[in-house]
Amino acid sequence: MIKTTRNNRRTKPDYQIKLAKERIDILAKEAEKAHAENPKMARRYYKLAKKIGMRYNVKIPTVVKRKFCKWCFSFLSEGWRLKKGVMRNTCKTCGKHIRYPYKPMRHK
């Protein structure tokens, strides 16, 4: 007799994961709207989205993730610098540098 283990305790039901993704999208949109008038609320919305993502093991979309600082959760203003395959921005609140790799376009 082969004993099988069930991982029901580890995974969440599909409807909960779908709901978590919807809430993350809503909170991200609200954070983008609120960042000009009230940066504290924008930070709170993004923290809530991140917390929901961790609880339900759902990734925050890359487009949204790159708009916020990893350390202080504040909204990053436009001003990405591109150099040698690295996109770089500096957070105005905490002063940390955020770097992401990218592939530069080749010219013919």
Give the model confidence (pLDDT) of 29-61 as tens digits.
Answer: 999 999 989 999 999 999 999 999 999 999 999
**Does residue 87 belong to any structural domain of this protein?**
no
- Which comes out higher in pLDDT, residue 19 or 102? 19
| CB count in 10 Å sphere of residue 3 | 4
Tokens of 70: 């990893």
Tokens of 90: 């500096």
**Does residue 29 belong to any structural domain of this protein?**
yes
Q: Given pLDDT bands bounded at 50, 70 and 90, which one contains residue 8?
A: low
Amino acid of residue 60: I
**Does residue 66 belong to any structural domain of this protein?**
yes
Could you give the 3-state DSSP secondary structure of residue 90? strand
Of the candidates 82, 99, 100, 103, which has an alpha carbon nearest to the alpha carbon of residue 90?
99
**Does residue 69 belong to any structural domain of this protein?**
yes
For the chain, what is the domain count? 1
Tokens of 74: 């504040």
Instruction: Report pLDDT for 77.
Output: 82
Looking up residue 29, the CATH number of its domain turns out to be: 1.20.5.420
Q: Domain range holding 42? A: 14-76
pTM for the whole structure: 0.80
**Does residue 35 belong to any structural domain of this protein?**
yes
**Does residue 107 belong to any structural domain of this protein?**
no
**Does residue 42 belong to any structural domain of this protein?**
yes
- Which comes out higher in pLDDT, residue 59 or 1? 59
**Does residue 92 belong to any structural domain of this protein?**
no
